[in-house]
Structure 1
Amino acid sequence: MSLNITTKLPFRAVSSRTVVRCCNSNSSRQKRQFSFKQFWSRSPAAANYANWTRDTQGPTRATKAEEKAQQDLELKQRQEQELLVHDESNIGQIDGKPARNIAVNIDGEHKLFDAVFLRDSCTCPQCMDPYSNQKVFQTSDIPADLEGSCKTVVDEEKGLSIELEWSSDVRGYGPDHRTRHSIEWLQRAVHTEVDLRGGSRHDDKVLWDNKRITKDNKWVDYNEYMSQDETLFDALTHLNRYGLLFLKNVPDSEESVVQLASRIGNLKDTFYGRTWDVRSKPKAENIAYTPQFLGLHMDLLYTSNPPHLQLLHSLRARTPGGESFFSDSFNAACQLQRRSAGQFRTLSTFPVTYHYHHPTHHYHFTRPVIDLYPCSKYSEPTNTAIRRVNWSPPFQAPFEARIGSNNATSLRSFVAAAHAYEKLLSSEENLYEYRLNEGECVIFDNRRVLHARKAFDATKGERWLKGAYVDDDVFFSKLRVLEERFHGKWMAEGVVRHAVK
């Protein structure tokens, strides 16, 4: 994106008062003084004019190089002034009447910014605490009759900017309060609004089957992951794209999974604890704590905010069996959509209830199998990006809606769609099988990648995994910090934001 500042507006669009006041600006005074001095001086070597005076030799003309430099300077100053739009109403000009909207030239087009937006976004030390970067006033404090006027300035830190003066400012701010926004920041604000309003989403997720993940799978060394931010960024980027990541050479310690998770951020504490053990035990409160076969599922879908990441560190792998399976639920959902838009729509709308009902814990939540991002006004639900998938048959509760009363057929339609989806999820070409060895850890996106486990014989050895969870806010916070540091941009709500001053 480039900033076009060369467009010159018709002179008739500038009021005489505007021209007069523009000529009284500091930059214009400097320009006149420069021109006057150049008319009475020359640049050749001082030795040639050691005895020259204006009274005896008279005026001299500037050299062609000096004339060219002066023309370039005047052009630059004129271009900077033309960044602001001058029209018959003097919208938003420091030399005109204050206005509710400020007009600025962005990418060669005149863009209007609401004065409230510009005032609310002020980052001066009076409006934003320099240590916490938090606002010290409320948006609701801005008066309804707020108006602003502006001029072009060159800020030492932000570069080419507009400086705004406010009428009817927030209570407590004096007449000397000014707001500055860089042209680059305004340009980014315009493009972000357009991207959000357009409903298009940037998504670099890679859908995978067995062949693709076998080819692209990523293994990361524990020490490099823990000590090098570049390695961490590469690992989290891969995890965000594929939803699956493996680590090797993890120390034989129950604290290793804590250290791995803490490298991203705070662990998610649940009723299972900050960490938990996956090992066979009698009278287990969870099927995962038995040696039985465990089908494809996601964890904690009965909570309002299920964990985003799950970490499983293999401490003991000394029993036959117990291989892990992984399946990309997004890939299977897209396959289902291509085969049957109706079944895809059913899984996107039918309410499925999950629960964990025990004497000391009772969790209960209802959600569709396929969770979509909100669709734009003119978009079909089947054309909307998948946000997350909810699939956990072991923890499914009895249905509570559309159960067949009044001769409704919704439940039968859901069963048919669920059957078709499960066949895709568990098909051999879509499954990735791996048996975790001791000292290895897998991290996967619990809202996308389904995991399962083969049965094992607990009488012939020990199988022990140490687990932990990380929430989505924590993961994406760390990823954005690293994205901004290494790539100068970050993403939220499917829109890429570039780092600006």
Structure 2
Amino acid sequence: MSLNITITTRLTARCASQHFRARNLTCKRRRFFSSVFSGPWTVKRRAGREDESPALPTLTREYHPTPISHEKSVHRPVYAYPAKTIAVSIDENPRTFDTVFLRDSCTCPTCVDPDSRQKLFQTSDIPQEIEGKARTVQDEKRGWVVEVEWQNDVPGYGPEHRTTHSIDWLRRALTTEVELRGGVRYDDRVFWDRDTITKNNKWIDYADWMSHDTALFDALTHLNRYGILFLKNVPESETSVVSIASRIGTLKDTFYGRTWDVRSKPKAENIAYTPRFLGLHMDLLYTSNPPYLQLLHSLRARTPGGESFFSDAFHAAQKLDKQSKAHFRTLCTYPVTYHYHHAEHHYHYTRPTIELHPHPKNSEPTNLALHRVNWSPPFQGPFEVRIAGDSQVVLPTYLAAANAYEKLLSNEENLFEYKLNEGECVIFDNRRVLHARRAFDVTKGERWLKGAYVDDDVFFSRLRVLQERLEGRWVADGVVRPVV
């Protein structure tokens, strides 16, 4: 028996942009969506062959093209060809896929290099009028697969070229699209106050971190959820922090160096290199891509004072959103300037205090979707917009919002304080967890931390590799994707 899968055509859904119309002195936003279908659905059934799956009904429709208008249009894209689709039965339901998607996703050795896994053709090489004939066959390793024979294929590919996709992979692709378009984000992060993190904090032995992937995965999962993690029994060596960071991936090199020392010195170029009190902040917000993870290994802890304390900026942002939507929106939009301006280095970057994950234009986020927080008062530069003062109320509005947020950040109930002992290392999310330090007396001992940074791409790459291997799934863009 066989399953012949019929090529169908459809018009891609067209979305008009938002229109604003004044009525009764109130602006109302309206969104218009339209999908043009030219004919009724019909059911077609075709005979199959013995080496294929049983014949199943296939939904198809006909399309009568509309002449293309050459008038200038602001709202609607003009397509030279109607989109073509291929219908595939998944879980006994006919589902359609764009032919361009199926061709572009081909992973045969002539389309994707088997060793590097890089594509050997460009998406733009695919002819707009590409068509294909498909059938389902059973593969010994992949189970049921859809095999497509192409017409009008990419130049350079002969008639013998075939594209195969497993039914499992196509099912996952559909699920991922639905979740991405729906704005529903998978989020297992735990926003914490002092009591929560004290109860749930995790300590990992250095030997386990270095030797066992299961322990490393458990640690990185905790770090992703809570934004902070501690290691113990770290060897007394200036290279230990390199070894710890290298288990995640490549270290981030900055103008401070690949690693750096936090210790008091005269004429310090950074307030962290003094014995003074250092308030809650994040590092390097004056750069375009601030470090994601910060590691601090305690080599000397022999001074009175110098305790570290941490605050979950996401927890405070969530509280602020509940207290005042207006304050929360202000911190999501008002630009704050950060800079590092010295004789040999001049960094400058402007960003809002709170950054949210983007969500589809036609959907609303189902949760707060916090992405990053930017808070670093010691490295803040002068404001650069809406500062004239004449009928400008935006800067005072920001001041009120920042004041409310700071009270939440520094509330004793939200601060976790701990003095790192020698042989301990803290790792924390520099885009979420604020860190600070109490003053200490350099005349009565030595305080020395060895630091390093790791970028977000490096961290999430390592986490996904371990998650694929140990859990059979991986997460990206807020969507859980099973390994296929």
TM-score range, shorter chain: 0.7 to 0.9
Residue 32 (structure 1) aligns with: none
SS at match of 1:100: strand
- Alpha-carbon deviation of 1:384? 4.0
Residue 456 (structure 2) aligned to one of 450, 469, 472: 472
Residue 255 (structure 1) aligned to one of 230, 239, 242: 239
2:459 counterpart letter in structure 1: F
Residue 240 (structure 1) aligned to one of 196, 203, 224: 224
Residue 414 (structure 1) aligns with: 398
What whole-Å deviation, never above 9, does each CA across 1:370-396 have from its counterpart, x for those lacking one?
Answer: 011124435678964110100000000
Residue 18 (structure 2) aligns with: none
1:275 counterpart letter in structure 2: T
Residue 283 (structure 1) aligns with: 267
Aligned positions of 1:261-340 closer than 5 A: 261-340=245-324
1:127 counterpart letter in structure 2: C
Say if 2:58 is the partner of 1:85: yes
Aligned alpha-carbon RMSD (Å): 1.9
Residue 371 (structure 2) aligns with: 387
Residue 211 (structure 2) aligned to one of 219, 227, 237: 227
Q: Does the 8 Å contact 1:101/1:148 carry over to 2?
A: no
1:353 counterpart letter in structure 2: T
Residue 129 (structure 1) aligned to one of 79, 88, 113: 113
Residue 149 (structure 1) aligned to one of 126, 129, 133: 133
Separation in 2 of the partners of 1:100 and 1:218?
A: 53
SS at match of 1:429: helix
- Structure 1 pair 382/457, CA: closer, same or farther in 2 (3 Å)? farther
Residue 159 (structure 1) aligned to one of 140, 143, 165: 143
Separation in 2 of the partners of 1:253 and 1:412?
A: 49
- Structure 1 pair 129/212, CA: closer, same or farther in 2 (3 Å)? same
Aligned positions of 1:27-176 closer than 5 A: 27=51, 77-78=53-54, 81-82=55-56, 85=58, 87=60, 100-176=84-160
SS at match of 2:51: helix
Separation in 1 of the partners of 2:180 and 2:116?
A: 28
2:303 counterpart letter in structure 1: T
Q: Does the 8 Å contact 1:352/1:399 carry over to 2?
A: yes
2:199 counterpart letter in structure 1: K
Larger Rg: 1
- Alpha-carbon deviation of 1:264? 0.2
2:282 counterpart letter in structure 1: M
Q: Does the 8 Å contact 2:149/2:162 carry over to 1?
A: yes
Separation in 2 of the partners of 1:123 and 1:375?
A: 29
Say if 2:373 is the partner of 1:373: no
Q: Does the 8 Å contact 1:345/1:382 carry over to 2?
A: no
Residue 44 (structure 1) aligns with: none
Separation in 2 of the partners of 1:88 and 1:491?
A: 36
Aligned positions of 1:8-27 closer than 5 A: 13-14=43-44, 18-19=46-47, 22=48, 25-27=49-51
Residue 70 (structure 2) aligns with: none
SS at match of 2:156: coil
Uncovered stretches (5+) of structure 1, i.e. residues with no partner = 6-11, 29-76, 90-98
Residue 380 (structure 2) aligned to one of 396, 399, 408: 396
Q: Does the 8 Å contact 1:199/1:375 carry over to 2?
A: yes
Residue 457 (structure 1) aligns with: 441
Separation in 2 of the partners of 1:88 and 1:234?
A: 51
Separation in 2 of the partners of 1:187 and 1:369?
A: 39
Separation in 1 of the partners of 2:413 and 2:231?
A: 24
Residue 426 (structure 2) aligns with: 442
- Structure 1 pair 121/343, CA: closer, same or farther in 2 (3 Å)? same
Separation in 1 of the partners of 2:309 and 2:128?
A: 59
Q: Which has the higher strand share?
A: 2
Q: Does the 8 Å contact 1:404/1:410 carry over to 2?
A: no
- Alpha-carbon deviation of 1:431? 0.1
Count residues with an aligned counterpart.
425
Say if 2:200 is the partner of 1:216: yes
1:27 counterpart letter in structure 2: D
Q: Does the 8 Å contact 2:309/2:418 carry over to 1?
A: yes
- Alpha-carbon deviation of 1:329? 0.2
1:236 counterpart letter in structure 2: L
Residue 184 (structure 1) aligns with: 168
Separation in 1 of the partners of 2:123 and 2:278?
A: 51
SS at match of 1:271: coil
- Alpha-carbon deviation of 1:105? 1.9
TM-score (norm 2): 0.85
1:327 counterpart letter in structure 2: S
User: Sequence identity, in percent?
Assistant: 68
Q: Does the 8 Å contact 2:183/2:365 carry over to 1?
A: no
1:141 counterpart letter in structure 2: D
Separation in 2 of the partners of 1:104 and 1:488?
A: 25
Q: Does the 8 Å contact 1:490/1:496 carry over to 2?
A: yes
Say if 2:460 is the partner of 1:487: no
What whole-Å deviation, never above 9, does each CA across 1:160-187 have from its counterpart, x for those lacking one?
Answer: 1110000011111111111100111110
Residue 328 (structure 2) aligns with: 344
Q: Does the 8 Å contact 1:296/1:450 carry over to 2?
A: yes
- Alpha-carbon deviation of 1:258? 0.2
